[in-house]
Amino acid sequence: MAHPTARITLASPRASRLLALAASLSLGGVAAQAGPPERVVSINLCTDQLAMMLAAPGQLISVSHIAADPLMSVMAEEAARYRLNYGQAEEVHALIPDLVLAGPYTSRYTVGLLRRLGVEVRELPIVERLDDIPETLALMGMWLGREDAAQTLVAEYRTGLAALAPDHDHRPRAVLHYANNYTSGTQTLAHQILSFAGFANIAEEAGLSGGGTLPMEQLIMLMPDLVISGQRYPGLTRAEDVIDHPAMEALRDRHAGATVTDAEWVCGTPAVLSAIARLTALHEGGS
């Protein structure tokens, strides 16, 4: 295994230098610029959406194919207007980007290989708090040289969030129940969305801080007032069977309210405001 990899790493920088040379010749030397990047490729769902919100026309040339999936992306329609990539180092490199946007969970091999090929890769940290979203927007704005656009979005986001400001004495207990009995603990964006909308997260009672599994037996013994189920995808899997398990259905029928998470919950973008608004409405509707 180690041997062929070593050979690739030896051979590739030479090839990349040739490609980079060809690129800089054909594009008039944009690679060696100090100004904003002109060919940005995003290979992560969350950077896809932030880049689409902030990039100047023509600046963003490709987003990941996941950004075009309406089940996971709030900007699927916009994404369809871009060239879609599958996050493979070779195809990304062939787009001759001067900036690649990735996330902390992007394959280390892909990021490492792109960097060895001389491509600038920036990784956007995971957003775990609602208060981190302005910073994230500002950071993306800085990377793209679009600070003003970012400031506008930050101001809109702050206004939107303030309008939804919590005013709840009563805090019903909610559980996030995803495929494989996965749930989100206290150190997650989903927890913050839940709390801001006036619900207590049951994962806190179970002692979960990050993401983790909450066995169905334990979940039922905790008797939540609201079950927020994970998104269903096409095809039937055992992982998602737990969402419709008869015990969960009985819990929803006989005790708890029910709703589902969707693409708005996934990334730390201003789209979380509509997730909060829908949950708040549920809270005020008396769940």
Partner 1 sequence: MRFSLLLALLGALVAALFAVSLLVGPAGLTPAQSLAALIRGEGLAETLVMREIRLPRALLAVMIGASLGLAGAAMQGYLRNPLAEPGLIGVSGSAALGAVLALHTGLAASFMLGLPLAALAGAAAAVGLILVLAGPGGGSITLILAGIAVSAMAGALTSLVLNLSPNPFAASEIIFWMMGSLADRSMVHVWLALPLMVVGWALLASLGRGLDALTLGEDAAATMGISLVRLRLVLVAGVACVVGAGTAVAGAIGFVGLVVPHILRPVVGAQPSKLLAASTLGGAAMVLAADIAVRLILPERDLKLGVLTAIVGAPLFLHLIYRTRREGL
Q: Footprint of partner 1 on this chain (CB under 8 A)?
A: 179-181, 213, 215-218, 220-221, 223, 233-242, 245-247, 250-251, 254-255
Least gap, CB of 249 to partner 1 (angstroms)? 9
- Residue whose CB is less far from partner 1, 18 or 250: 250
Here the contacts of 26-29 (C-beta below 8 Å, separation 24 or greater) are 27/96
- How far apart, in whole angstroms, are the C-alpha atoms of residue 220 and residue 227? 10
- Residue whose CB is less far from partner 1, 159 or 218: 218
- Residue whose CB is less far from partner 1, 149 or 216: 216
Least gap, CB of 217 to partner 1 (angstroms)? 4
- Residue whose CB is less far from partner 1, 4 or 246: 246
Least gap, CB of 75 to partner 1 (angstroms)? 18
C-alpha distances out from residue 131 to 46, 72, 154, 192, Å: 17, 22, 11, 10
- Residue whose CB is less far from partner 1, 27 or 236: 236
- Residue whose CB is less far from partner 1, 151 or 182: 182
C-alpha distances out from residue 189 to 16, 61, 267, Å: 39, 29, 8
Residue 285, C-beta contacts closer than 8 angstroms, at least 6 positions apart: none
Least gap, CB of 197 to partner 1 (angstroms)? 25
Here the contacts of 201-207 (C-beta below 8 Å, separation 24 or greater) are 201/173, 201/174, 201/175, 201/176, 202/173, 202/174, 202/175, 203/175, 203/176, 205/173
Least gap, CB of 36 to partner 1 (angstroms)? 34
- The length of the chain in residues reads 287
Contact (Cβ atoms closer than 8 angstroms) between residue 216 and residue 181: yes
Residue 88, C-beta contacts closer than 8 angstroms, at least 6 positions apart: 110
| 3-class secondary-structure state, position 88 | coil
Least gap, CB of 72 to partner 1 (angstroms)? 8
Residue 19, C-beta contacts closer than 8 angstroms, at least 6 positions apart: 93, 96, 117
- How far apart, in whole angstroms, are the C-alpha atoms of residue 249 and residue 239? 16
Among the listed residues 230, 172, 225, the one whose alpha carbon sits nearest the alpha carbon of residue 197: 172
- Residue whose CB is less far from partner 1, 156 or 244: 244
Q: Which residue has the tokens 């769902």?
A: 45
Least gap, CB of 277 to partner 1 (angstroms)? 27
- Residue whose CB is less far from partner 1, 157 or 178: 178
Least gap, CB of 152 to partner 1 (angstroms)? 34
